[in-house]
Structure 1
Amino acid sequence: MDNNVVVWIVVAIAALLAVALIVFLARRARNERRRLEAERLRAEVDQKAQHVEKRETVAQETEARARAAQAEAEAKAAEAARLQDRARTHRDAVNSKRDELDEQRARADALDPRVNDHGRKTDAVRDSAADPRDGTRAKDATKTTDAPVEHRRP
Structure 2
Amino acid sequence: MITSLLPRLCSQRPAFRLGSLLLKVLLFLPLPALGQTRAVSTASIPFSFTINGQQMPAGDYVLYRVTQNIYSLRSRDWSFGASAMVYTDAAAKMPESSKLVFRNYGSTYLLDSFWTAGSSQGLRFTRSKAEMSAIALQTNAATTSVLLASANSLALKH
TM-score, normalised with respect to structure 2: 0.23
Q: Which has the higher helix share?
A: 1
Please, what TM-score do these two structures have when normalized by structure 1?
A: 0.24
Normalized per residue, the structure richer in strand is 2
